[in-house]
Amino acid sequence: MTTVARTVRSSPYRDTVQTWEVIVNLLTKGGSSTVRAELLSVAGIAAAVLAEQSAKDAAIVATGEGPRTRIYCVYDDDALDESEAKEDPLGFDALVGDWAVSLPCPKDDLAWVQAALREKSSRITARELSESLGTSKASNSAATEGLVLKSEVFLKP
């Protein structure tokens, strides 16, 4: 699976609501759509998560039919340094088909953030900061099972 990463400058360069809008523009290529409207409907929740600097070390992860997109944020002095950012547009539509966006969230806020997001969207979710998408035991076992070679099929006459 191909992965693409971007780094967005947050506070104090821009407030967290503006940061979320930049992220939405990256993911939707700035177009107007139902996907964009759904992402903007959780702006307050996403801004609260971004204010905790949760996207500093853990990525916001967007998945769709194309490459997995990871978005990180830089804060404080790093946000003021333009060289720390990579905000150039994606060369593809990140949210095509059966898309999803996962926000990293501090453990103390996870319950309320997940509940608030569920009220707005089934595609936008939150996960604990330490949880990395695609590395859970269930995912690993499913991936491993998918690689089992059934040699009897190749040996049939």
Instruction: Please work out, in degrees rounded to the nearest 5, the angle formed at the alpha carbon of residue 16 by the alpha carbons of 34 and 88.
Output: 65
Task: Kindly indicate the confidence band of residue 69, based on its pLDDT and cuts at 50, 70 and 90.
Answer: very high
Q: Tokens for 53, please give them.
A: 């600097």
Return the pLDDT at 147: 43
Q: Which residue has the higher pLDDT, 2 or 152?
A: 2
Q: Where are the domains of the chain?
A: 3-131
State the angle between helix axes of 43-51 and 16-28 in degrees (0 to 180), rounded to the nearest 10: 120
Residue 144, SS3 per DSSP: helix
Return the pLDDT at 148: 47
